[in-house]
Amino acid sequence: MIKRIGIDLGGHTISGGEVDFSGGAPRLVSPVTVRTPSERDPLSVLRAVEELALMWVSRGDECFIGIGVPGFVSKDRLAVLKLTNFKGCEGARVGTLIARDMRARGISAEVRLENDANCAAVGEHICGAARGMDDFAVLTLGSGIGAGLAANGRLIRGAHGMAGECGHMALCGEGFRGCFCGGAGHLEEAASADWVERRALERGLPGDFRVLWGMREKNGDARALIEASLDALARGIASICAALDPEAVILNGGMSRAEGMADELRGRATKYLPSPMRAVFRLLLSELGSSAAVMGAAALDGGM
Ligand SMILES: [Zn+2]
């Protein structure tokens, strides 16, 4: 039987696990999380991902390894085009190299890369908050902002494989330094935890989104930072709804777990929606949390 391994490469940690699809609901078996190598260069990332995969596969195994990465991947899903928080990974054929290295160890591996938010969308669809939905968006709110969009039961990948990069929608006009992707005025720069924390540190506030969230009632500077982030996110969510008309927008990622965040965003996003969309607007929280991308990565060859 083919083993299915899902791996979620993040800027701070790499998570992985074998996913068992043999029973009713898919089950994540013995998940492991390790620290991302601080060098964040192609070779050390490759080694770390391979070491993780080898926890579940060994000589003689046949396996599918799906890898969620925080950025743009090639249309053939074998190379990374741009990982905004990593160094020199542009064009690295990570998928091809991992398959080759596994072969050298006597393991027959099909390897596929996918944007991490797309993996989270597949995960939510097979066993999370998007079960039974054909049209939905999963928005991952964390150090960066990602999105996985589905229409007619299929993940939207786009003409060049880059669809769904909603963190890079240019919603925010002037006054920003420039997004790590190379563009300007992007939602990610206006609203992501990393950027909010960066601005907080510059103002002498704690560089931790959860702490800022907790102190926003009493501290006007913290409140202003949080509100600017929420407002940008609300515009982003309303824009996704206008483009996709989803059954639901599902929030995942560390920021979304701040207490009351989804309720705040729901109210703010409603204001930006066209009136016919307000009655059908649904903003939900992920049911899988940090496992969504690992579960989805392991199911990337499932046809979604
Ligand atoms: Zn950008």
Average pLDDT of the segment spanning 76-98: 90
Residue type, 156: I
- The CA 184 to ligand 1 mean position distance, Å, reads 7
Superfamily assignment of 3-118+292-302 in CATH? ATPase, nucleotide binding domain (3.30.420.40)
C-alpha to C-alpha distance for 27 and 298, rounded to whole angstroms: 11
Query: What average pLDDT does the segment 2-16 reach?
Result: 94
**Of 17, 138, 153, 9, residue with least CA distance to 84:** 9
| Distance separating alpha carbons of residues 235 and 227, to the nearest angstrom | 12
132: closest CA among 120, 124, 141?
124
How many whole angstroms from 241 Cα to the centroid of ligand 1? 20
CA of 4 to the centre of ligand 1 (A): 32
Nearest to 278, CA basis, from 287, 269, 291, 289 = 269
List, in order, residues 6 or more apart from 203 with CB less than 8 Å away: 221, 225
Distance of CA 258 to the CA centre of its chain: 17
Name, in order, each residue with C-beta under 8 angstroms of 236's C-beta and a sequence gap of 6 or more. 139, 145, 166, 169, 171, 187, 191
CA-wise closest residue to 232 among 216, 214, 255: 255
State the distance from the centre of ligand 1 to the C-alpha of 187, rounded, in angstroms.
Answer: 7
Model confidence at 23: pLDDT above 90: no
User: Do the beta carbons of residue 286 and residue 257 sit within 8 Å?
Assistant: no
Q: How far is the CA of 86 from the centre of ligand 1 (A)?
A: 14
Helix (H, G, I), strand (E, B) or coil at 236: helix
Is residue 174 scored above 80 in pLDDT?
no
Q: What is the pLDDT of residue 302?
A: 87
Q: Distance, CA 166 to ligand 1 centroid (Å)?
A: 9
Cα of 90 vs centre of ligand 1, distance in Å, is 16
Give me the CATH code for the 132-286 domain, please.
3.30.420.40
* pLDDT at 1 > cutoff 90: no
Contact 122, 302 (CB under 8 A): yes
pLDDT of the residue at 125: 97
Kindly give the distance from the C-alpha atom of residue 189 to the centroid of ligand 1, in angstroms, as a whole number. Answer: 7
CA of 169 to the centre of ligand 1 (A): 7
**Nearest C-alpha neighbor of 192 from the set 228, 224, 229, 148:** 229
The domain spans of the chain are 3-118+292-302, 132-286
Distance 273 CA to ligand 1 centre (A): 23
What separation in Å is there between the alpha carbon of 290 and the centre of ligand 1? 23
Assign 113 a pLDDT band (cuts: 50, 70, 90).
very high
Query: 148 with 115: CB under 8 angstroms?
Result: yes
* Span from the CA of 282 to the centroid of ligand 1 (angstroms): 26
Domains 3-118+292-302 and 132-286 fall in the same CATH topology: yes
C-alpha 165 to ligand 1 mean position (Å) = 8
Query: 258-274: string of b/e by CB count within 10 Å (b at 16+)?
Result: beebbebbbebbbebbe
Q: What is the pLDDT of residue 200?
A: 97
Q: Ligand 1 centre and the CA of 171: distance in Å?
A: 11
Query: What spacing in Å lies between the alpha carbon of 179 and ligand 1's midpoint?
Result: 4
Residues whose CB falls within 8 Å of the CB of residue 288, separated by 6 or more in sequence, listed in order: 120, 123, 124, 127, 128, 129, 252, 295
- Residue range 206-250, pLDDT digits in tens: 999 999 999 999 999 999 999 999 999 999 999 999 999 999 999
Give dist(CA 252, CA 245) in Å, integer. Answer: 19
DSSP 162: -
How many CA atoms does the CB half-sphere of 295 hold within 13 Å?
21
